[in-house]
Amino acid sequence: MKIDFTKNNDGLIPAIIQDNVTKNVLMLGYMNQEAFDQTVATNKVTFYSRSKKRLWTKGEESGNYLELVSIKNDCDNDSLLVQVRPKGPTCHTGTDTCWQETNTQEYGFISELERTIKNRKENAVEKSYVASLFSKGINKIAQKVGEEAVEVVIEAKDTNDNLFLSESADLLFHYLILLQAKGFQLENVVQVLKERVK
């Protein structure tokens, strides 16, 4: 890997720290050649501290190390994307990230949909289909998931891809409602799947 530490007079380049699993950005630090070499040698992310004027391994005092997974160089060879497994909060203030965000897994639109379902459950409005399902109870929600699953199977045996995708969307939507009714989210199911990987 060719890294250009000479572009700045101080020999430092920015290192963007990203959680390898959630893909959330945790912090920004600076590395010189020595900090980079120590990071690679120890598998613990090390920076050059501009305030302390020395190498600084993240977590050397708190124990909240950043375990190295990979390092990628950008197209100009003068900044790094460092993917890590954080061992505790990253920010010195005790938060997960230096932007005071929670380092949780997001699934894009699916996570937004889960939040909408939760909101409809907790703040029921009269014309909400989701709220009406929750008001009918777990049996009705489970029954609806079963019905949608059967419709997916039927459409899978046919050749109309649009109907198959539409029924698949209905199944996923109702399954997310069922998860909420049981007090879970998609992340709980993903965790079970991760634990099954050998």
Mean pLDDT in consecutive groups of 10 residues from the start of the chain, 198 residues: 83 96 95 96 96 93 95 94 97 94 91 95 88 95 97 96 97 97 94 89
Its CATH class, for the domain covering 109-197, is mainly alpha
| Tokens coding 95 | 């938060």
pTM: 0.75
The three-class DSSP label of residue 20 is coil
Query: DSSP of 21-88, one letter per residue?
Result: TT--EEEEEEE-HHHHHHHHHHSB-EEEETTTTEEEETTTTTS--EEEEEEEE-TTSS-EEEEEEESS
Task: Give the model's pLDDT for residue 6.
Answer: 86
Q: At a CB cut-off of 8 Å and minimum separation 6, what does 45 contact?
A: 15, 17, 29, 39, 57, 58, 65, 66, 67, 68, 82, 84
What architecture does CATH give domain 13-86?
A: Roll (3.10)
Domain parsing of the chain, residue ranges: 13-86, 109-197
| pLDDT tens, position by position, 87-125 | 999 999 999 999 999 998 889 999 999 999 999 999 988
